[in-house]
Amino acid sequence: MRERRPDPAPARSRRRGDELIRAIHAAALAEVTEVGFGGLTMEGIARRAATAKTSLYRRWPSPRELLLDALHDAHPQEEPSPSADDLRGDLIRALRQLTDWLATPAARAVAEIMAERRRHPELVEALFGRVFGPRGGTITQPVLRHYAARGQFDPELITPVVADIGEALVFKHLTDTDRIPDEAMLAAIVDQAILPAVGILPAGRGPACPGTG
């Protein structure tokens, strides 16, 4: 467990409902990034959120449950176009949501948890089961399912590999270059990897297909 740097307790203020929940969630994400999951306590979260520890226990039985709740609420999920007429645009927007999320405290908290997966495998399992899964799996998976359900392509083409392509290439680019992919790279990932994987060639590379923009 990492040693925590002491800091003055922030002044408490009267907050209720959603405002208080947001403050507690933000505190939990910041706290796990600083002290690791092994050092995460209700006392530390309450101190950082400038609220009473009893406020936390009224809603969550443990730091683990609080953290998973915070991560679930902070995790992005793309809402595809209801008319299913812009598959390419929806996929690019989904990947942009992912790259925006990478700069958030939630992403740093997830990285901290994944770094401790050997010590806390049950937490990583819960992360997939209670955060990533309910939010659609990978960031592009809800978009692909939405369009497949409306006849744009065969849903059997959404294999686990295809569902992972977008996220995998975003993370590979980040690992290789130490930079978050820009808009041009996100478009290239969609045009050169995701769309061909479901049998669709972008405009200018083959027959026009519905839903490719």
- Determine phi and psi for 137, rounding to 5 degrees: 85, -115
Domains in the chain, CATH or no CATH each: 17-72 (1.10.10.60), 78-197 (1.10.357.10)
Give residue 56's identity as a one-letter amino acid code.
L
CB neighbour list of residue 151: distance below 8 Å, 6 or more residues apart: none
pLDDT bin (cut points 50, 70, 90) of residue 167 is very high
pTM over the 0.85 mark: no
- CA dihedral (137, 20, 59, 54) in degrees, to 10, reads 140
Mean pLDDT of 154-180: 96
Helix (H/G/I), strand (E/B), else coil: 134? coil
> What whole-number distance in Å separates Cα of residue 170 and Cα of residue 185?
9
Mean pLDDT of 26-35: 93
- Average pLDDT value over all residues in the chain: 87
Per the CB < 8 A criterion, the answer to whether 131 and 75 are in contact is yes
pLDDT of residue 120: 87
pLDDT in tens, 91-150: 999 999 999 999 999 998 898 888 888 988 998 999 989 988 877 678 899 999 999 999
